[in-house]
Copies of this chain bind each other. A is one copy, B any other.
Amino acid sequence: MTDSSGFRGLVLGAAAGGGLPQWNCGCQNCRLARDPASGVRPQSQSSLAVSIDGDNWAILNASPDIRQQMIDNSVLHPRTLRDSPVKSVLITNGDIDHLAGLLILREKQPLDIFVTAAIGEIIDDNPVFRALDPAFVRRHAIVLEQPFALLPGLEARLFAVPGKVPLFMEDGEPELQLEGEQTVGVELKVRGKRVYYIPGCAYVGDALKARIDGADALLFDGTVFTDDEMIATGVGQKTGQRMGHMAISGPEGSLAALSELDIAEKIYVHINNTNPIWRAGPERAALEESGFQIGYDGMEIDFDTNT
């Protein structure tokens, strides 16, 4: 155990589902990411690790890339014969990019998993997740708005944000901007400091603005820059809204909505492979000029909470 106490955040994966590059995509970003000389580095699927002592970590969203993410980040390496600094995992929705990594966390390692009842039902409905032996893995059903200890000394709270059910559970056209237990944001509190993690969000309304205003850090859904980006890139038929994600740009976009607020660090994460902010250009420059940061694998968001 170290004596220092603070908030430590570590972006394990900054990309949205599919990652950068995505296996079957030859778009400009994916081609650049496959070329080590391009300056555009590969980015893995959406996940954030947090700690307050640097020794015990919680993982927010279990990406399919979690095994490589743990190899790449030495703070997550085991220190004894069978061990992991990862003590808990929290899942913010049932999408494959946030859920599938649970399958990697088999291996009879004690672990606390925190999910809403709705996300817990998805896990229960898929016997493959029985790989997580309940003798070692304790699952906690978290009620919205009720604080709980994600790690000793790290208080968390889940709240509904507009979203939709996972793609594999769609039955006809899904309700968009659904608010409930399907898609949640996370509030983390350490000694008065507030950090918000919202990797999926279809709309920023007044209640959400009021909640996150004054935060010390916000990691927010940066899936698409423009709502029709996938269509314009020629890689798909779906808008950002249809996927449950609001665009960054435009009058209804997150850039405009979040710029009104007093938030010390604003970081886009869950960035789709098609998003132009992965490369140098006017879109990336616009964000940086507005005081936003673009997340990347290995990014650290640390601050001392004693001050």
Contact = CB atoms under 8 A, between A and B. Distances in A.
B106 A103 contact: no
A80 interface: yes
Assign chain A's interface to a size class.
Answer: 35 or more
Interface in A229-267: 234-236
A146 interface: no
A196 B295 CA distance: 45
A43 to B, nearest CB: 11
A107 B18 contact: yes
One complex includes copies of this chain to the number of 2
B81 A131 contact: no
Contact of A26 (B22, B83, B103, B108): B83
Interface string A104-137: 1111110000000000001001111111000000
A24 B82 contact: yes
B24 A127 contact: no
A209 interface: no
Interface of A: 18-19, 21-27, 30, 34, 42, 45, 64-68, 70-71, 74, 76-84, 86, 96, 99-100, 103-109, 122, 125-131, 167-169, 234-236
